[in-house]
Amino acid sequence: MKNFRGHKQSKLPKSDDTISQTGPGTPGGEYLRRYWHPVALTSEVSTTPLQVRVLSEDLIIFKTTENKIGLVHKNCPHRRASLVYGKCEKKGIRCCYHGWLFSTDGEILETPGEDPNSKQATNLRKKFRLGAYPTIEFNGLVFAYMGPTENIPEFPHYDAFDVPKITRRPYRIKYKCNWIQVLDAIMDPVHTSFLHGQNSEIQFSKGFAEIGELEFFERGVQYLGCNTRRVDDYVWVRVNELILPNFTQAGSAFAADGTRTRYFGRSSFTRWVIPVDDNNCTALAWANFGERGDPIEYNSQEGCERIEGGEIMNRSWKERQKHPGDTEAVEGMGPISAHKGEHLMPTDYGVMIYRRRIRKLIKNLKEGKEPPQPQQKKGEIVKTNGQDTVLRMPKRNIDDRKFIKSIGSAVMKLQFETEKMPIKERDNSIINQLKEMEDRGGL
Site map 27..66 versus ligand FES, x via CB under 6 A: ----------------------------------------
- The secondary structure of the chain in percent helix, strand, coil, rounded to multiples of 5, reads 30, 25, 40
The reply on whether position 78 binds ligand FES by CB under 6 A is: yes
Which CB, 94 or 191, lies closer to ligand FES?
94
Residue nearest to Fe ion (CB): 326
The reply on whether position 131 binds ligand FES by CB under 6 A is: no
The reply on whether position 109 binds ligand FES by CB under 6 A is: no
Give the one entry of ligand FES, Fe ion, none that residue 349 binds, where binding means its C-beta sits below a cut-off of 5 to 8 angstroms depending on kind: none
CA atoms within 13 A on the CB side of 281: 29
The reply on whether position 125 binds ligand FES by CB under 6 A is: no
CA–CA distance, 82 with 364 (Å, rounded to integer): 36
Which CB, 81 or 365, lies closer to ligand FES?
81
Q: How far is CA 170 from the centre of its chain?
A: 13
Which CB, 99 or 134, lies closer to ligand FES?
99
Q: Residues 6 or more apart from 74 whose CB is under 8 A from it?
A: 51, 58, 59, 60, 82, 83, 84
Q: Mind giving me the DSSP string for 58-89?
A: EEEEEE-TT--EEEEESB-TTT--BGGG-EE-
10 Å CB burial of residue 441 (0-12, 13-18, 19+) is: exposed
The reply on whether position 190 binds ligand FES by CB under 6 A is: no
**Least distance (Å) between residue 108 CB and ligand FES:** 10
Which of the 8 DSSP states describes residue 125?
H
Beta strands in 300-417, from DSSP E residues, in sequence order:
381-382, 387-392
The reply on whether position 100 binds ligand FES by CB under 6 A is: yes
CA–CA distance, 432 with 443 (Å, rounded to integer): 14
Which residue stretch of 91-99, 190-198, 302-310, 312-320 sits at the interface with ligand FES (rule: CB under 6 A)? 91-99
Which residue stretch of 21-29, 95-103, 177-185, 290-298 sits at the interface with ligand FES (rule: CB under 6 A)? 95-103
**Least distance (Å) between residue 164 CB and ligand FES:** 48
The reply on whether position 81 binds ligand FES by CB under 6 A is: yes
Decide if 56 contacts 178 (C-beta within 8 A): no
Contact footprint for ligand FES (CB under 6 A): 76, 78-79, 81, 95, 97-100
